[in-house]
Amino acid sequence: MPSYPFVRSFPVLIMIFLLAALMIAAGCTSSPVPAPESSSFESNLSTITSAPRYTHASWGIIIVDPATGTTLYESNADQMYVPGSTTKLFSSAGVLETLGPDYRFRTPVYAMGSVDGSGKLNGNLVLVASGDPNMGGRTLPDGTIAYTNMDHGDANALQGALLTQTNPVAGLDDLASQVNAAGITEVSDVAIDDRLFETTDLGKTFVISPISINDDQIDITLSPAAPGSAPSLEMRPQTAAYRLVNKVTTGPAGNPLEISVTEVPKGTIIVQGTIAADAGPVNQTCPIKTPAAFARTLFIEALSRQGIRVVAAATGDNPSAKLPAPAAYTGARKVAELTSPPLSEDVKLTLKVSQNLHADTYISLIAAASNKTGFYDGMQEEGKILKSLGLDTRGVSLGDGEGGAIEDRISPRSAAELLTLMAKRPYAEKYVNALPILGVDGSLATSCSSDSPARGNVYAKTGTTGTYDPLNNRGILLAKSLAGYVDTSHGKRLVFAIYVNNVPFENVDDMMAAGNDLGSIAGAIYTYY
Q: Is residue 203 part of a domain?
A: yes
- Asked whether residue 111 falls in the same domain as residue 244, the answer is yes
Q: What is the CATH number of the domain that holds 29?
A: 3.40.710.10
What secondary structure letter does DSSP report for 506?
S
Cβ neighbours, 10 Å, residue 244: 16
How many other C-beta atoms are found inside a 10 Å radius of the C-beta of residue 113?
15
- Looking at residue 172, its pLDDT comes to 98
Q: N- to C-terminal Cα distance for the chain?
A: 49
Q: Are residues 73 and 139 in the same domain?
A: no
Q: What is d(CA 312, CA 105) in angstroms, rounded to the nearest whole number?
A: 28
Q: Which of 478, 458, 515, 517 is nearest to 80 (CA)?
A: 478
| Structural domains in the chain (count) | 2
Torsion of CA 478, 484, 490, 491, to 10 degrees: -170
Mean pLDDT of the 48-56 span: 95
Residue 358 maps to a domain: no
- Amino acid at residue number 18: L
Instruction: Give the confidence band of 505 by pLDDT, cuts at 50, 70, 90.
Output: very high
- What are the pLDDT digits (tens) for 446-458? 776 777 788 899 9
pLDDT at residue 515 greater than cutoff 60: yes
Do 147 and 254 lie in one domain? The reply is yes
* One domain for residues 67 and 205: no
Which residue in 2, 17, 4, 19 sits closest to 506, CA to CA? 4
Contact 522, 460 (CB under 8 A): yes
- Among 292, 318, 341, the domain-final residue is 341
Q: Are residues 73 and 159 in the same domain?
A: no
The predicted structure's pLDDT at residue 38: 53
CA dist 261 and 97 (Å) reads 38
Burial (CB count within 10 angstroms: exposed 0-12, middle 13-18, buried 19+), residue 407: exposed
In a domain, 350, yes or no: no
Neighbouring-strand partners of residue 62: 74, 497
- Please determine, for residue 14, whether its predicted confidence score (pLDDT) is greater than 50: no
Would 89 be classed as within a structural domain?
no
Q: Which of 289, 314, 341 is the last residue of a domain?
A: 341
Mean pLDDT of 288-301: 98
Separation of alpha carbons 63 and 498, rounded Å: 9
| 140/44 same-domain check | no
Give the residue from 294, 322, 341 where a domain finishes. Answer: 341
Q: Phi, psi at residue 513, to the nearest 5°?
A: -60, -40
Q: Specify whether 434 is located in the same domain as 290.
A: no
Give the tens place of pLDDT for each residue, 213-243.
999 999 999 999 999 999 999 999 999 999 9
Residues 139 and 260 in one domain: yes
Is 373 a member of any domain?
no
Ordered alpha helix ranges (H), 100-210: 170-181
Region 415-421 average pLDDT = 98
C-alpha angle 149-154-157 in degrees, rounded to nearest 5: 130
Q: What range defines the domain where residue 330 resides?
A: 106-341
**227 with 337, same domain?**
yes
Q: Write the pLDDT tens digit of every residue in 336-363.
A: 999 999 999 999 999 999 999 999 999 9
* Residue 467 resides in a domain: yes
Instruction: Give yes or no: residues 65 and 148 share one domain.
Output: no
pLDDT tens, residue by residue, 183-211: 999 999 999 999 999 999 999 999 999 99
Q: Which residues contact 491 (CB under 8 A, 6 or more apart)?
A: none
What is the share, in percent, of the chain residues with pLDDT greater than 70? Answer: 92
The mean per-residue pLDDT over the stretch 143-160 comes to 89
213 within some domain: yes
Number of H-type helices and E-type strands within the chain: 11, 20
Instruction: Judge contact between 281 and 305, C-beta under 8 A.
Output: no
Q: Is residue 352 part of a domain?
A: no
Query: Domain check: are 514 and 460 in the same one?
Result: yes
Residue 155: per-residue pLDDT: 87
Task: Assess whether 30 and 122 both reside in one domain.
Answer: no
**Is the separation of the CB atoms in 523 and 486 below 8 Å?**
no
Q: Report, as an integer, the average pLDDT of 291-308.
A: 98
